[in-house]
Structure 1
Amino acid sequence: MIITTTNSIEGFTIDRYLGLVTGEVIAGVNLVKDIGAGLRNLFGGRSQGYEEELLTARESAQRELVESAQRLGADAVVGVDLDYEVLGQGDMLMVSMTGTAVALSYRG
């Protein structure tokens, strides 16, 4: 399935707009990652624990987005927007993806 932030896909015509689709994930960040991130904050460097958590959450949100689009019979999702939010006391991360599911035909 094609996933794009643009509103069109080169080489294809959008035949039908099937509706809004979303993928949303709320992930908790554990104490061990918090301690590691705190040390990196103090001494410098990247927080691998948080980066892995972000990657996992983003991949899960995209998987949900694709599954929603597939249920509608879509070939692609256009106009995708990706958002990150911190919830609670900073111990929860929300990743959300939204877009428009579309049916395509090849222009070739």
Structure 2
Amino acid sequence: MGIKIIEATRGKSRQSTCIIIDEVFQLADKSANSLKLIEHIAIRIQGETKSIMTVIEEEKYQVNKGIKLAEEAQQSLDNIVGYTNNIDQLVYSISYGTLS
């Protein structure tokens, strides 16, 4: 674009003005197309970001659910250990009682 403008300024004034105006319009058109492309890219990025956030929230929910299940399993195992100790005590009491 710069070369055309420089060459136009060397020519007749009306012709050079037309060339400069034409170049400015072409530049404005390219700028508008670039802005449309940037807007399209930004919209795609926003959509992808929203999708990623949805996946992250679902994964967070699943992790919390897994933690809760692990805590419940731990409680169940603690209960089993307690019941096993009680049974062990009863067996010991029965065995000790029958031996006496």
| TM, length-normalised to structure 2 | 0.29
* Structure with higher helix content: 2
Give the structure with higher Rg (CA).
Answer: 2
Q: Scaled by the length of structure 1, what TM-score is found?
A: 0.27
